[in-house]
Structures are given as structure tokens and as C-alpha cells.
């Protein structure tokens, strides 16, 4: 990465901040939110559908799980902390009483709920992801939906026990491994020919922060001031999520794969590292809070782009495979770097090779 690429990044970063301040609120109030009434209510006894959701214990992922549960899905919630995930599952079950009270009377018996199960998976540990997939496959031969939502943002530079940078491994490589391991059960749904299985990657508007393609593994992101480079590493990881979604769509055309930006949701745990910092945390809390007021959406609104990509019955393989969805749910073009097929192939091959080098072969012979 050259000095001019860093300056370019800084320019885009400040434009992004200015847009959030001055354009954000008007953009957000014009958002076209996906209506969850379009998502079919399933009866798990007659139409059993299985979803795997990563990071479902907080923020956007919790709302994904809540609404899938209310729509009758069987959900495997993959997380690293059993206590957190089981208490999140309990809260979803409690929320049911509140929701049912709002149902129109004639719908009460037509909306049976699904079920929620915890599966241990730590995305800083490749072996743990491999094991999580094996555990799910022990119980399920058919998987209809995978939502890759778990993520971390702007952490200090750290390398995991697999010797990968922590943001990239958590946001990309580990969840790619999980997906590839679950693929036989996803493909099995496609082969039955009645239901189109789906995969959704949580990307971010932050993928646009890099104006040139910073290749995975580029060591220049490991040097220099962390306050700048950590955002570049986050941006790089969220760009990779779009690349992998596009490559999956191309390589597996019978699976509807997408990536989404959920919106700016400042009260999730994603921002907690910055909010907790001594001194800087005071500014961070003020800055993040103001950004949220001007340009943010709620956590529940934040799940709508994901749930549109995951469940909107009007989406088809022919016209929608590999697409990117913006906050609230409308389709949008991601950046040119994200759309570039050669870049996407590079990201795919890099991840395949890194996994192979660590004993996890994910490509089919």
C-alpha cells in the first residue's frame, strides 16, 4: 500500500463522516424498509426450514434470530460464549409473548414459532469453526439458510492462534470455512429443486473506505498508526465479504448468495472497544452517539437488509444472485473494487490457500 493510497483513504473517511453528519438523517428518513410481512410464516411441522446464524446473541444478529424464530425457522445460533447465547435465546422466547399480543386474532394459530439451538463456534479459531459445522451436520442434512453476521470492528492489531489478523479471520476466513463446511447440506436443498437455499454475508458501507484494492495479507496494514490502519483492516474485511458472496454466487449458481450493509447502528456491541477506551472513549462515545442520532437506524431496522436477502420471496436466482443490499433492504451497487471479478477471485483464492496451509481444504476436487 502506497502513501497516496493512505491519503486517499483518509479523504474518503472524512467525506464519509461529513456525509453521515450532513446527509445522514435525510438519507435515513427516506429509507425504503423491507416489510417482514412479506416473509412467509412457516409451519415447522409441515415445512421445516433450517438456518445457521453466526453472532446471534447481540445486535443485528439477535433480531435476525428473533424474526426467523417468529416466522417458524429452526435456527442454529453459532457463538463463542454459551452463557451469552443461551441468555439471548431466552430473551427471544420471552419476546414472543410481547409479539403474539400484537398479532391480528385471525393470525394467532397460523404463525407457529420455530426453535433455537446453541452451537459453540469461536471465529478466532479455525478448528472451532470446523467443529461447529460438523456438529450442525450431525443433526441436519438440509440447510436452507446461512447468515454470516458475527463480526468485530476496528480492534487493535492482533494475530490469532491460527496466525491470521483478528478482524480478517473473524469477519472473513473463519466464516468462509464454516460456510464451505456447511455447503453439502446447502447444496442438498438446491438439488431437491423445490426451495432455493440462501447465504447472506454481513458486509458494510465501510467497504467503500478503500479506494484501491488492498489485497488480503497486505502487510502494510500491519504497520503505521493503529487509529488509521485498524479501520483499513475493517474495510478490507468487509470488502472481502462482498467478494466471497459474489464468488459463491458464480461458483454455486443454484444457491442465492448476497451481501448486505445493515445501516449504521451505534448501540450494538460492535463499537464497545472504542467506547471503553480511557480518554479517547469520551470523545468516541460523543462522536458515535451523534453519528447515531444523525444517521443511525435502530437495531431492529438494521436486521431488515439481511432478512430481505434471506427471506424475500420475490428474489430469484436469475436476477438477484450475488447482489448487495443497502440499509433497510433495497439493492444497491457496491464499490467498483467490490464488483471487480479479478479482485473477488483473488480474495477467494487467498482464503482457500490460507485455509489449506492450515490443514483445512475447502475446495472441491
Write out the residues near ligand NAP by the rule CB under 6 A: 55, 57-61, 79-81, 84, 121-124, 149-153, 170, 202, 204, 261-262, 264-265, 268-270
**Assigned C-alpha cell, 62:** 439477535
Catalytic residue among 229, 238, 246, 323: 238
- 167 versus 189: smaller Cβ distance to ligand NAP: 167
Catalytic residue among 69, 76, 234, 325: 234
Instruction: Please state the closest distance from residue 125 (CB atom) to ligand NAP, in A.
Output: 8
Say whether 234 is catalytic: yes
- 42 versus 69: smaller Cβ distance to ligand NAP: 69
Catalytic residue among 58, 128, 203, 335: 203
Instruction: Please state the closest distance from residue 55 (CB atom) to ligand NAP, in A.
Output: 3
How many residues does the structure list for the chain? 365
Q: Give counts: helices (H), strands (E), the chain.
A: 15, 8
DSSP 162: T
The span from the CA of 276 to the CA of 273, in Å, is: 5
Query: Strand pairing of 331-332 and 324-325?
Result: antiparallel
Say whether 237 is catalytic: no
Instruction: Please state the closest distance from residue 292 (CB atom) to ligand NAP, in A.
Output: 9
Residue 322, Cβ neighbours under 10 Å: how many?
Answer: 19
Residue 363, Cβ neighbours under 10 Å: how many?
Answer: 12
Instruction: Please state the closest distance from residue 179 (CB atom) to ligand NAP, in A.
Output: 14
- 149 versus 335: smaller Cβ distance to ligand NAP: 149
- 42 versus 62: smaller Cβ distance to ligand NAP: 62
Instruction: Kindly give the interhelix angle for 226-251 and 3-18, rounded to the nearest 10 degrees.
Output: 90
Say whether 35 is catalytic: no
Place of cell 451481501: 259
CA proximity to 36, closest of 324, 300, 267: 300
Instruction: Please state the closest distance from residue 119 (CB atom) to ligand NAP, in A.
Output: 11
- 124 versus 247: smaller Cβ distance to ligand NAP: 124
- Contact, 118 vs 90, CB < 8 A? no
Which positions are catalytic?
A: 203, 234, 238
Amino acid at each position: 500500500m502506497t502513501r497516496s493510497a493512505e491519503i486517499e483513504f483518509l479523504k474518503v473517511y472524512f467525506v464519509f463522516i461529513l456525509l453521515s453528519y450532513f446527509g445522514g438523517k435525510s438519507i435515513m428518513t427516506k429509507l425504503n424498509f423491507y416489510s417482514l410481512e412479506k416473509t412467509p410464516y412457516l409451519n415447522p411441522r409441515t415445512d421445516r426450514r433450517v438456518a445457521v446464524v453466526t453472532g446471534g446473541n447481540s445486535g443485528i444478529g439477535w433480531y435476525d434470530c428473533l424474526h426467523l424464530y417468529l416466522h417458524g425457522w429452526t435456527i442454529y445460533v453459532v457463538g463463542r460464549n454459551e452463557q451469552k447465547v443461551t441468555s439471548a435465546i431466552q430473551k427471544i422466547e420471552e419476546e414472543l409473548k410481547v409479539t403474539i399480543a400484537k398479532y391480528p386474532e385471525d393470525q394467532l394459530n397460523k404463525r407457529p414459532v420455530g426453535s433455537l439451538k446453541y452451537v459453540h463456534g469461536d471465529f478466532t479459531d479455525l478448528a472451532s469453526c470446523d467443529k461447529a459445522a460438523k456438529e450442525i451436520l450431525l443433526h441436519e442434512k438440509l440447510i436452507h439458510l446461512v447468515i454470516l453476521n458475527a463480526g468485530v470492528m476496528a480492534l487493535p492489531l492482533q494475530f490469532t492462534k491460527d496466525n491470521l489478523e483478528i478482524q480478517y479471520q473473524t469477519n472473513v476466513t473463519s466464516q468462509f470455512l464454516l460456510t464451505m463446511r456447511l455447503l453439502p447440506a446447502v447444496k442438498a436443498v438446491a438439488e431437491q429443486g423445490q426451495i432455493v437455499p440462501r447465504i447472506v454475508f454481513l458486509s458494510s458501507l465501510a467497504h467503500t473506505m478503500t479506494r484501491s484494492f488492498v489485497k488480503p495479507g497486505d502487510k502494510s496494514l500491519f504497520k503505521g498508526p493503529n487509529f488509521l490502519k485498524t479501520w483499513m483492516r475493517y474495510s478490507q474485511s468487509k470488502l472481502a465479504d462482498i467478494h466471497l458472496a459474489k464468488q459463491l454466487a458464480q461458483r454455486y449458481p443454484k444457491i442465492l448468495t448476497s451481501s448486505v450493509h445493515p445501516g449504521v447502528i451505534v448501540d450494538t456491541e460492535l463499537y464497545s472497544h472504542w467506547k471503553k477506551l480511557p480518554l479517547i472513549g469520551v470523545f468516541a462515545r460523543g462522536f458515535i452517539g451523534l453519528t447515531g442520532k444523525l444517521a443511525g437506524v435502530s437495531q431492529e431496522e438494521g436486521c431488515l437488509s439481511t432478512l430481505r436477502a434471506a427471506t424475500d420471496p420475490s428474489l430469484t436466482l436469475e436476477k438477484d444472485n450475488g447482489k448487495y443490499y443497502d440499509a433497510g433492504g433495497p439493492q444497491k451497487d457496491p464499490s467498483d473494487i467490490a464488483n471487480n471479478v479479478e479482485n473477488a477471485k483473488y480474495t477467494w483464492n487467498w482464503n482457500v490457500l490460507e485455509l489449506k496451509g492450515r490443514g483445512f481444504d475447502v475446495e472441491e476436487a
